[in-house]
Amino acid sequence: MTTQLTRGRFLRYGAVGGAALLSPDTLRRRPRTCGGLRRVTQPEEVRRPAAPPARRRRPRGRHVRARGPRVHQLLVPLAVRPGENVGLRRRALSRPTFEVRKDVPVTIEWSNELPGGQFLPVDLTIPGATTGPSPIVQHLHGGFTLPQFDGHPEQWLKATGETGPHFLTRRFVYGNQQRATLLWYHDHALGNTRLNVYAGLAGLYFVRDEHDTGAADNPLGLPARPYEIPLVLQDKTFNAEGHML
């Protein structure tokens, strides 16, 4: 005898089968194995790898920590003077590294003691370019900075005391009103930025907060010194005598 499968009968069969699949006895069954591999029904616990052993070598470079309102006197010497044979042995090619706290303002006084003249070719068709004493003005790249402290290209000053048309002050106030981050600062003088940055007028600027404190017991579990090492990568060319080109 042929049994006709009607729409109603099909729905009843489907309901019974679904109930059997969701029965408590079925849900309590242990996970099956397939090809020797255990089928995972819940995520496995993720364990953090053990920290590498401590190293005695400390990061190079001068580290400046600013914990409160203060003035940092920073003299900015030229990394390489005209005709000086430096090779790869000097460490003066990098600037100080700052470490500040979120919402704690710091004041930095920038001074210019660069010698006269340029040791690199100068393209005088660029507005502001000069073969005389180098103008400088520092810009905190990515910082939440007020306009008068932002390092406008014409806020420059020279070692001779000459200043740019938009110069206001040597003292720059950085409010640090932003969450933890790694910024960098660099020269921003009109027509001379490329030469001054190539000569080494650039550095790092850490902003710390309650999450990324910079300490080994920070809440995020981030690497701290000696495993957090500031790196500045620069492309420089030297001739056979060790002079920077």
Amino acid at 149: F
181-187 and 138-141 beta bridge pairing: antiparallel
78 lies in some domain: yes
176 lies in some domain: yes
One pLDDT digit (tens) per residue for the chain, 245 residues: 555 666 666 666 666 555 555 555 555 555 555 555 555 444 444 444 555 454 444 434 444 444 334 444 443 333 333 343 333 333 445 578 888 999 999 999 898 988 777 888 899 999 999 988 999 999 999 999 999 999 999 999 999 999 999 999 999 999 999 999 999 999 999 999 999 998 888 989 999 999 999 999 999 999 988 888 888 888 888 788 777 77
- Cα of first residue to Cα of last residue in the chain, in angstroms, is 99
37 lies in some domain: no
69 lies in some domain: yes
What pLDDT sits at residue 83? 40
What pLDDT sits at residue 37? 52
Its pTM stands at 0.63
How many domains would you assign to the chain?
A: 1
**Tokens coding 227:** 């495993």
CATH number for the domain spanning 186: value is: 2.60.40.420
Q: Report the length, in residues, of the chain.
A: 245
45 lies in some domain: no
Residues of the domain holding 122: 63-208
What pLDDT sits at residue 6? 66
